[in-house]
Chains A and B, each alone.
Chain A
Amino acid sequence: MAQAQEAHRVNVFVIFGWLVALTGAELYIASDGVMTGTALVLGLVGSALVKAALVAIYFMHLKFEGVLIWTMMIASLVIGIAFILVLFPDLVQDGYWKGFISHLYHD
């Protein structure tokens, strides 16, 4: 445990650096003309997920938690994502997704 805490101590500022760098990258790719459409959405969501994982694993010490906490958090995440996914077939069938992407290209 002491070793784990020591490792955590070393990582705080490295993780901070990554979080700031990724935020800067997000602002850059969201600025006019750098990225549009699907690439923009995937880039931003991907970066946000990496940042969220860094906070959860290193700042919230999830890295050092046992199976119980991991199971609880993964279960709630799966349910949360399911909330969104169950509505996707309807959106895809009606072609809303294409409208959303073309809207982003026009921005």
Chain B
Amino acid sequence: MSQAVALSHDEGLSTGVESGKLGLWVFLASEVMFFAAMIGSYVVLRLGSPESWPANAKEILDLEMLGFNTFLLICSSVTMVLGLQAIQRNERKKTVWFLLATSAMGVGFLVIKGVDYGHLFHHPDFIADGNRLFRTCFMTLTGFHGLHVAGGVVSILVMVLATLRGKFSAEHHVGIENVGLYWHFVDLVWIVLFAILCLV
């Protein structure tokens, strides 16, 4: 019986990657294609209809606010890495603080995004009929990204609760590692969106 259990355990690790982590990477691979399809649509629409993009797009978008949001997400990626390193040293208290800091920056990102949306919908050039394509691309891409950030914040808070309940240790912390991977991916997507959607 124990041999059978050992055998099935080995089979589960036959890829050399922990199954939960492998599942997360498969999910991220699907997310790469999801965002690539949306970014691809944006590129094609933008190249195909340059006249639908307002000449003053950079003035309509608050680049300072968006730049600060980029900085916030980069900082949150660093605190996420520090949180993972803390649990690898079995420092649960530090882990909780780093995870809380990460989620706070995620919430900050969403609040700033909300304020930015509020400003945009009062900007006459943003809501002008001729700029419908620009508006749709911007809202779709940043909106889906925002949903991913919100999902990441909730996942991090779940990890905070699990850490407080003592479910993670230096030996077992794959949950935090997986949420960290997802969070870094969300950061990565924003880095690309910020450059090609807001600055070009």
Binding site for B on A (CB under 8 A): 5, 8-9, 12-13, 16, 19-20, 23, 26-27, 30, 40-41, 44-45, 47-49, 51-52, 55-56, 59-61, 65-66, 68-69, 72-73, 75-77, 79-81, 83-84, 87, 91, 94, 96-97, 99-100, 102-104, 106-107
* Contact size range, B: 35 or more
Residues in A with CB closer than 8 Å to B77 are 55, 59
| Contact A60 B48, CB 8 Å, known A13-B78, A23-B71, A80-B33 | no
Contacting pair A30 B58 (CB below 8 A): yes
Query: Out of A12, A20, A66, A76, which one reaches B32, CB within 8 Å?
Result: A76
Residues in A with CB closer than 8 Å to B188 are 52, 55-56, 60
What is the total of A-B residue contacts with beta carbons within 8 Å?
136
Min distance, Cβ A37 to any Cβ of chain B, angstroms: 11
Which residue of A is nearest B75, CB measured?
A16
Contacting pair A91 B48 (CB below 8 A): yes
Chain B binding surface, main DSSP class: helix
Query: Out of B25, B191, B192, which one reaches A69, CB within 8 Å?
Result: B25
Q: What is the 8 Å Cβ interface bit string for chain B, positions 160-200, against chain A (1 contact, 0 not)?
A: 00000000000000000000010011011001101110011
Which residue of B is nearest A101, CB measured?
B50
B128 at the binding interface (Cβ < 8 Å): no
Residue from the set A56, A68, A69, A102 with the largest chain B CB neighbour count within 10 Å: A69
Chain A binding surface, main DSSP class: helix
Query: Out of A68, A77, A100, which one reaches B47, CB within 8 Å?
Result: A100
In the complex, A12 Cα to B84 Cα: how many Å? 12
Please list 12 pairs of residues, one from A and one from B, whose beta carbons are closer than 8 Å in the complex, sorted by A's number.
A9-B85, A16-B74, A23-B194, A27-B63, A55-B188, A69-B17, A77-B36, A81-B36, A83-B40, A87-B44, A100-B47, A107-B57
